[in-house]
Amino acid sequence: MEEKINREKYKTLGYNVLTLFLFLAIWTLAYWLIKSPFFPSPLMVFNAFLELLIHGDIEDVKLGMHIQQSLWRIFGGFAAACILGIPLGLLMGLYGRVYDSTKVLIEPIRFIPPVAWIPLVIVLLVGYFRFVFIIWLGAFFPIFIGTLLSVRGVNPLHIEVPKSFGASRFYIIRNIVLPSVLPEVLTSMRVGLGIAWECIMAAEMIGGERVGIGIMILKYAQLIRMDAIIVGIIVIGIIGFGLNEIFIFVEKRIFRWKEVVSI
Amino acid sequence: MEKELIDVDLSMKFDSLSVLENIRFKVHENEFLVIVGPSGCGKTTMARLLAGLQKPTSGHVTMRGESISPKVHNISIVFQEPSCIPWRTLWDDITMGLVIKGVDQSAIKKRAEEVIKLVGLDGFEEYFPKQLSGGMKQRVAIARAYATNPDLLLMDEPFGHLDAQTRYLMQIEIMRIWEKEKKTVVFITNNIEEAVYLATRIIVFSKLPARIKAEYRIELPRPRKLTTPEFLGVRSEVTEQCEVVER
Amino acid sequence: MSGRKVKIEVRDLCKCFGDLEVLNHMNFDIYEGEFLCVVGPTGCGKTTFCNVVTRLLPLTQGAITMGGEEIDFKKHNVSFVFQEPSCIPWRTVWDDIKIGLQIKGVNKTEVRRRVNAIIELTGLTGFEHFYPSQISASMKQRVAIARAFVTEPDLLLMDEPFGQLDTRTRFSIENQLIEIWQKTKRTIIFVTHNLEEAVYLSERILVCTQKPTGIKEEVLVDLPHPRDITDPKFVEIRNRVTDLVKWWE
């Protein structure tokens, strides 16, 4: 059985490698057909990647630095979203009254895209907190709403068993509600992190800084250097993918009692 | 001779829908009372009322003269749906009631070992529910309910989701456990054969809104056999009283 | 029984999952218009058997043939009733029942005639325009039965269809099933865990062994309908089947 699963794994891996090669082949073909200075080949992009990695960009900032800065900003915004979103979600899930009474405020804010806040943020905040705020806006709602819904989705039977033994509210929250919502909270954190990372461009559009993967893309956009821009785009994609995979890995490790881990 | 434990006299409504109407009966100590009725007749509501998880619209449920409540009385309940807590091992699940009731560690250990043996799950203490079969999960729920030595043990269609054969095995099992450790049991089911096999007394509920249609004292000797003429006779008699749900 | 025409031949039926053999060389015939029950101990591979017959799983070896031809749902008319309610939530009773006829491209007047007839036979008159959420579990199972019978199938496979109903309701729906079967004379394979139900319904019972599943014995139930569960002859057959299954060992 295990052998079979392993074989399946390698098969999937093989198909993915094939997909990648096919994509690169089509890209190269398109390059030959289009023949435009604004459409680089995979090889040119790869060279730009090496250049950025080793020598840095036009201001001599290396790619690693850009990535590091962006990740640091994401981390700040994401942590803020978790610290606020999870307890608030738990509270409002447990006490439906609080959510129902604050709906008028929460729901409209949810639908304002983070980009819309940029002018305000430029005026009101400085430095690191500008980035954190924009990313926080993106990540907060998936985490908050996910947590809230997971609390409401706790199996009532699991609550009634201790209740029928005369358990206190505190016991039930600690021993039933928290462990039961944890997987879904983690899933919503994963979604939140994904969105936080997606917001990096929006956040770094604020300007005023020299380092960051989004800023790097903007720099090269002014020069119309497509190869470097594409490097930036691909790096964003790959890091997002990597973060997601790490999260899934952690989820699988923690929830051994769960039958399936959602993807 | 029979000591009265619980007195029930109530009606229950959900909004305008009347579910239970003038339900009046007593539960005696150490009896195995079976409530049987068609599906969707409010039996589960009756179980929740007896467990003190819900309050009747009018009337009362009292145990030894006091209004029933899980915080005051020692009640255990076995639900129809698998109610094992997925992230708890069998051991942690079974000891839950004892922990809540503040029993000290050594006593918990002793009692848990006892009931695990009683339901025949020794060796599975560190298993998670997903590793157990449907019948075993229900045994965990029964052990958990038995562990606290409840004054009232409620079973709400505990074998409803099991196949007919596993169900027979569980019936034999529950009888063996009950004869070893006598408890006051209120057992709810829609299966008449099961009712006649287990009960010292049967109360038949009508369909919605439920009323008490009939009451039988079952005095067949134990262990009962499902196909003796006496057994089949009682079963037919009870079946006569049960209503068919058309809609 | 010997005088009847063989409808379906099951020959050397094998099913393995890797090294695990689940069905072990099963051989049996099903006669035209027969009510056949398949029983066996819990976990004996009845589900696999159903899935093989319904072709949800491929066979490892052997064949199921009807009139000399390998069974094929495009060619032969086979219906199913499962344990889980299988009504489609957004279809009314009427629309649900006609689905099989619609797929087979039967014309509209014929659909109306047949659906009307089966609705009357299953006692669903007056509920044609109800949605599944508005009717009880036993009614849903009756819809499933009506849907299966309406296509006038060559073979009807029922996998523990009444497992979730309360006893009294189950008896009433079982009686109805017998009545429909006697009127329509369809061939039925009925798989169940409930031995009393098997003896109550069928003409012949195949008792299966524990995994790998083979056929232990055939039991003929030669009693007229409606049967009485307290009849000594009935009890005798029931005890015999119980002894054969011996699931507790």
User: Where residue B247 sits, what CATH number does that domain have?
Assistant: 3.40.50.300
User: In the predicted model, is pLDDT for residue A259 greater than 70?
Assistant: no
Residues A210 and A236 in one domain: yes
- Identify the bridge partners of residue C204 per DSSP, sorted by sequence position: C36, C220
Residues A78 and A154 in one domain: yes
Q: Is residue B179 part of a domain?
A: no
Average pLDDT along chain A:
88
> C190 to chain B nearest CA, in Å?
15
Q: What does the pLDDT read at residue C46? A: 79
pLDDT in tens, C59-84: 888 888 887 888 877 778 888 888 77
Q: Which residue of C has its CA nearest to B236?
A: C230
Q: Is residue A259 part of a domain?
A: no
Chain B CB contacts of A153 below 8 Å: none
pLDDT in tens, A114-133: 888 888 888 888 888 888 99
The full set of domains in chain C, from first to last, is 1-76+156-249 (3.40.50.300), 80-153 (no CATH)
Q: Select from B38, B165, B190 the Cβ nearest to the Cβ of C42.
A: B165
Chains with at least 3 CB pairs less than 8 angstroms from chain C = B
Q: Is residue B100 part of a domain?
A: no
Residues A117 and A52 in one domain: yes
Strands (E), B165-221: 185-189, 201-205, 212-217
Residues A178 and A232 in one domain: yes
Residues A2 and A107 in one domain: no
pTM metric for this prediction: 0.78
Question: Which residues form the domain of A66?
Answer: 41-254
pLDDT in tens, B58-98: 999 999 989 999 888 999 999 988 888 988 999 999 999 99
Q: Report the CATH number at residue A147.
A: 1.10.3720.10
The values of phi and psi at residue B37, to 5°, are -170, 165
The values of phi and psi at residue B27, to 5°, are -115, 130
- From the centroid of its chain, how far is CA A160? 36
Taking alpha carbons only, the member of B147, B171, B176 closest to residue B158 is B171
- pLDDT band for position A257 (50/70/90)? low
User: In the predicted model, is pLDDT for residue A262 greater than 50?
Assistant: no
- pLDDT band for position C1 (50/70/90)? low
Q: Is residue A263 part of a domain?
A: no
Q: Are strands B32-36 and B185-189 parallel, antiparallel or unpaired?
A: parallel
Q: Select from B88, B100, B130 the Cβ nearest to the Cβ of A165.
A: B100
Mark yes or no for CB contact C160/B229 under 8 Å. no
Burial class (CB in 10 A: 0-12, 13-18, 19+), A114: buried
Residues A6 and A109 in one domain: no
Spatial distance between the Cα atoms of B199 and B99, rounded to a whole number of angstroms: 31
Q: What torsion do the CA atoms of B112, B116, B122, B124 make, to the nearest 10 degrees?
A: -80
Spatial distance between the Cα atoms of C106 and C155, rounded to a whole number of angstroms: 19
Spatial distance between the Cα atoms of B207 and B214, rounded to a whole number of angstroms: 13
Q: What does the pLDDT read at residue A237? A: 92
> C219 to chain B nearest CA, in Å?
18
Residues A182 and A218 in one domain: yes
Chain C CB contacts of B247 below 8 Å: 127, 135-136, 139
pLDDT in tens, B181-198: 888 999 999 889 999 999
Structural domain total, chain B: 1
Question: Which residues form the domain of B59?
Answer: 1-73+154-159+185-247
Mark yes or no for CB contact A158/B79 under 8 Å. no
Q: Is residue B83 part of a domain?
A: no
> CA of B92: how far to CAs of B16, B88, B96, in Å?
42, 6, 6
Residues A20 and A116 in one domain: no
Spatial distance between the Cα atoms of A61 and C216, rounded to a whole number of angstroms: 79
Whether the predicted interface score ipTM is above 0.90: no
Residues A219 and A106 in one domain: yes
Higher pLDDT, residue C169 or A147: A147
Q: What does the pLDDT read at residue B1? A: 55
User: Does the CB of B100 have a partner CB in chain A at under 8 Å?
Assistant: yes
Mark yes or no for CB contact A165/B72 under 8 Å. no
Chain C CB contacts of B207 below 8 Å: none
Residues A122 and A138 in one domain: yes
How is residue C230 annotated by DSSP?
Answer: T
Structural domain total, chain A: 2
pLDDT in tens, C94-114: 999 988 888 888 889 999 999
**DSSP H helical ranges for chain C:** 46-53, 93-97, 99-103, 108-121, 137-150, 167-184, 195-201, 232-245
Q: Is residue A260 part of a domain?
A: no
Residues of chain B with pLDDT below 70 are 1, 245-247
**Least confidently predicted of A25-39, B193-207, C59-73, C212-226:** C59-73
Q: What does the pLDDT read at residue C75? A: 77
- B vs C, Cβ pairs < 8 A, gives 73
- A vs B, Cβ pairs < 8 A, gives 59
8 Å CB contact between C96 and C144: no
Q: Is residue A120 part of a domain?
A: yes
Q: Which residue of B has its CA nearest to C237?
A: B227
User: Does the CB of C195 have a partner CB in chain B at under 8 Å?
Assistant: yes
Residues A29 and A45 in one domain: no
Average pLDDT along chain C:
85
Chain B CB contacts of A258 below 8 Å: 86-87, 130
Q: Is residue B95 part of a domain?
A: no
Measure CA of the first residue to CA of the last residue in chain C; give whole Å.
Answer: 32
How is residue C134 annotated by DSSP?
Answer: G
